[in-house]
Structure 1
Amino acid sequence: QVRLGRTLRDDLPLTAAAAAAGEIGVEHAHVLAALAPTSERRREALASPDVECDEAWLVRQAKLNTVDDLRTVVRHWAAAADTDADDRGYVQACERQHLQVSPTLGGYHVQGFLTVDVGQALVTALEAVTPVPAAGDTSTTDQRRAQAVGVLANLVLDKGLAGEGRASRPRLNVLVSYETLQAVTERAMARQDARTLPRLGSVLTAESVLHGPQFEDGTPIPRILLDRLACDGEFNRVIFGPQSEILDVGRAERTFTRARRNAIIARDRHCRFPGCTAPPTLSECHHVRHWARDHGSTSVSNGILLCWHHHGYVHARGIEIHRQGGRWVFTDAAGRELGDPCPDDEAG
């Protein structure tokens, strides 16, 4: 408030008078004070009688525009009034640019500052892949934007967009021992019967605690996320000896082969979740009958195309999918059908 008062007193007398008279709001005054008198040339332009867009013009804009719109107007004014200062500001912004992605309890904390061009590119890309909310989905815009960050990362990794000229294609690696995979399957089977729950002793063993499903950096993976990653992932068999020496490296096999994926794409054409039309490039194949829990086959008839957002949504909400005539039917945990029917296209 002291800084605002000094700026109004020294550089923006007309703005101060308009704010004192209640003709513009305090937030409007803050915008003008923060952006307008930030260089000598801009101060000259504010007070010059020979300039059309002087301080009086900016005050009129403040009376006519919202705070956000005024901020845009003043940014354009500042750029035109002193292009050199605008260039210096961009160079300084480049030096300040940073991004921190830090692991924390339950996830990652993101903090940073981006230049206008990087920010514009990121916002445009996020808007392009931000998932369409499902019927009854109460997630906020910020939550869907966070999911879109994962979609962008998946596009780069799964489509090999960053693999040119590299020795190996970058990918997200998950480490699961055979014993752990068996235990996960047994627990999933037990959960199908509400009366049969896994014994605590079978869950809290040294093997399950120290060698449970994890990313390469040791971060544990929730079972529901492991189920999703296993749906359309690529499996590599690596057998270790008692001293952790590698004894055998098996051939990578994709759960859904290229031919099967192409067949599913040709049939479904887009994400089949009710109301969603995300294209195949933003989607992956989901086992209708889960491969581990239900011993579902990896076949075209047991696969359905879901975008990354709704693939996770289906796993997280326990949504079941089945065919009814010529359409897919989605039901929630209570057995209620979700949204509008999803009839197959004529090609299906």
Structure 2
Amino acid sequence: MDEDTLAQLAALAAKCADASVWPLSDDALVDCLDTIHQITQTLTAAQSHLIREIDGRGLPVARHASSTPVWLREHLRVSVHAAKRMVELARAVDERPALDAALVAGVVNAEQAAVVAAAIRDLPVDPGLVDRAEAVLIGQAQQFEPAILRKAGERVLAHVAPELADARDAAALRRQEARAWQTRAFQLTRLGDGRVRVTGWLDEVGAATVNAALDPLCAPHRDGDEPRTPAQRRADALVAVCDLATRTEQLPDSGGQRPHVVVTVPFAALREQVEAGTLDTGGRISPAQVRQLACDAQIIPAVLGGDGQVLDLGRTRRLITGPLRRALELRDRGCAFPGCDRPPRWCHGHHIRAWTESGPTSLDNSVLLCGYHHRIIHSGQWTVRLAADGLPEFIPPSHVDPHREPRRNRYHHRT
């Protein structure tokens, strides 16, 4: 490859680019497209050879780039993703002469070559088997675009070595199932605009179970008057299944009591039907929704700072449960430690004066703390007390604040 050859190539390419195509017949247009596409793949092979040599010599690192893709990104002004694909292709054709020859001849294009390289890379280490699989896929590249060729690559072992395919598929399924189980997740994220985003991952069996539970509730109304979209019906079905679950006796306790939803609203406002309510998650709901929930729920008097319920349980029990737990959740609204955003369901009931030191199980001796901050308090560096207004405040250690000024959690009480 010399400068004269490259100059001639550039001149010919410019001549083709400047040529008028409108006089060409339909067949000639297609023929020209095929020829130029084939030439482009051949030039891609030439580019790959150059990139591989540049990479092998370590020129990018010598020029203070962190890697060859990073150097290509800056030098050719392409995205780092495009640069990575160039380097991967260059390495693939360097390792596989047959694939390189196919790219040079235009039998495969750059995308197909990348698919073939990825497919044979995952095969068992058997040179003869890999060569046969490569030849099969190169042959199929003349019929299939990259997405279909990729599917063929997933099945190529069954074509060239069926005796190994079943065992390999079984091992791949085991790895897939293990990964799916390990990465399972479910999250509810409040967006602050009245919506809560649901995201997550399930394994196949878990997803089948969820589908089995939701499908019976996702059917549209039989009378044909169904204003909800399929996605809305699935959302309603999820809530309905969870609502049904909370009404059973089978769920474990949550914070020492059966699963429940707490709505806080002054009783007078509820009676007058004028004020919004606050859920124990921190979300606010309209008066209409409050009244709807109140239609099928117990009305529990919970007057903050008052004696709506008997809260002093004496010495017979030390667990903060039942009425005391509900009052504690209404007062603290979550972990009371300064800056913590953990909701009530993630919190423990902590005795300010230890039960073992004759501390009573009562509202004025209790505070909600998440597991992490519960351990912090028990380490003895921070101390907690109730202020004159009945809300908890925390005294930091001197290395945090030399003046040891009391601090409060403003997150849960910001509205």
Structure number with larger C-alpha Rg = 2
Q: With the length of structure 1 as denominator, give the TM-score of the two structures.
A: 0.44
Greater strand content = 1
Q: With the length of structure 2 as denominator, give the TM-score of the two structures.
A: 0.38
Greater helix content = 2
Q: Whose RCO is larger (CA < 8 A, sep 6+)?
A: 1
